[in-house]
Amino acid sequence: MHDLGLDLMGALHGEKAFIGPEHVVVDITNRCNTNCIACWTYSPLLRDKAAPVSWKRQEIPGDAAHRLMDDLAVLGTRRVRFTGGGDPILHPQFYSLIRRIKSRGMRALVTTNMIKADTEKFAEAGIDEITASLWASNPTTYSRLHPNQGPATFSRITRVLEELRQTARPPVMTLANVINRMNFHEMEEMYEYAIDLGVHAVYFTLVDPVQGATEGLMLTDEERHFGLQAIERIQARQKSLGESAPLLDNVGEFTGRLSNQEATNGFYDAGRIDELPCTIGWNFCRILADGDVVPCCRAVMLPLGNIIERPFKEIWFALKYNEFREKALKLKKDDPYFEEVQCYRMCDNLMHNRQFADRLDGLGDPGRGALQTRLRGYLDAAKEPPPEPGTVAEKGSLPPPDRDGSEPPAREEGAA
Ligand code: SF4
């Protein structure tokens, strides 16, 4: 079971982790069966910037992937999401891995294009959440955005989503839409499609372009303005439906990006990133199809170890990971360390950092004091000096390490 106080305590320390990541995203395969128009690796617009064939064949071997699930469960991970470079369902052991996650008491989530989705296999494996990445509300738009798929694929996916809703234990379903110049005009129809399907939520995000290849898909100022108005109309529709309405997942980040004046250049989160401490190193990580462990969704060029070579636990608690945690927490993201991450373009983990900050704020002074006391206890037991001032405390989220910790220990798990 994940102890929610321990990840907060790690941020208080400023470098170390005291428990494994709560959420883990695993790119189990880079193989894919479609070519979404804005895909970073398979879009037909990429031409010479497309990923090499050797990359497209990468896949975490089944035994290593199963072992990883066991290791994560021991470290306290609560949610494992299969997503990433290719379509997870194409991994030959996809359903077996879902069963392994479930048997270890974690939640199993997948982000998929749904082309190979099978209602019975999903139901039998006990998948908890499915994010269907469709980018369209109808067969015509769908096939324009997935040039190697015909309209019939959309109809089949619709049927599978309807079937999944009828299963004995329906998964939580979200429709994901990457908004770009080819589909921004039908955001309201996407929401109506979600209503018709009876899914749990709709997720909108803006296209993150590949420089020199897919910039033409970015919205103009006028189109972003249209998008903001569409969201207002969708929210009015949502309100009119009451509790049965699909949620708008993470809509605040989406409208924030639509409103950002720098969005036309693809720097959607410039001006917002440095306002929030980056605490992603304490509750999240991503594992790529070649086994590399990277600390956030964007940090694919910042590997901190490889699970084929070393157990995940060793990587997660190593000095190299501590270095990332400290730098992500303390440094502005224009520091050269983050050059390859390009945080200002779009931080896909902004909501995680925001949730973490909210949990810290929610502790209040007594909870923070108790956490401080708990940290001292850990450091005393390990005979380590307390951390230097200058961690998350100085960013206003937690008290400094020498603050009086005499309050009685609180159950910070509940407060978090
Ligand atoms: S993109 Fe940058 S700010 Fe966002 S989680 Fe990664 S390192 Fe932190």
Mean pLDDT of 395-412: 31
- Angle formed by the axes of helices 151-166 and 187-197, to 10°? 40
> Greater confidence, 4 or 108?
108
Distance between CA 188 and CA 72 in Å, rounded? 39
- The string of pLDDT tens digits covering residues 71-103 is 999 999 999 999 978 999 999 999 999 999 999
Residue nearest to atom 8 of ligand 1 (CA): 278
Average pLDDT across the chain, whole number: 90
C-alpha radius of gyration, the chain, whole number? 22
Please give the pLDDT value at position 387: 59
Residue nearest to atom 2 of ligand 1 (CA): 343
Mean pLDDT of 53-70: 97
Contact predicate 304/323, CB 8 Å? no
What are the tokens at 115?
A: 């082309």
- The string of pLDDT tens digits covering residues 173-202 is 999 999 999 999 999 999 999 999 999 999
Residue 388 pLDDT level (bands cut at 50, 70, 90): low
Pocket test for ligand 1, best of 286, 302, 341 (most atoms within 8 A of CB): 341
CA of 285 from ligand 1 middle (Å) equals 11
The 8-class DSSP code of residue 300 comes to T
Helical ranges in 214-295 per DSSP H = 221-241, 251-259
Percent of the residues in the chain that have a pLDDT greater than 90, as a whole number: 78
- The string of pLDDT tens digits covering residues 249-289 is 999 999 998 998 777 777 888 888 999 999 999 999 999 99
Sign of CA dihedral 99, 101, 105, 106: negative
Degrees, nearest 5: CA angle 161-38-44? 110
What's the pTM?
Answer: 0.89
CA of 278 from ligand 1 middle (Å) equals 6
- The string of pLDDT tens digits covering residues 351-383 is 999 999 999 999 888 888 999 898 998 888 877
Helix (H, G, I), strand (E, B) or coil at 301: coil
Q: How far apart are the first and last CA of the chain?
A: 14
Strand ranges inside 237-297, DSSP E: 247-249, 284-287, 293-294
Cβ(217) – ligand 1 distance below 6 Å: no
Q: Which residues pair with 112 in a beta bridge?
A: 132
Strand ranges inside 69-217, DSSP E: 79-82, 107-112, 129-133, 172-179, 201-206
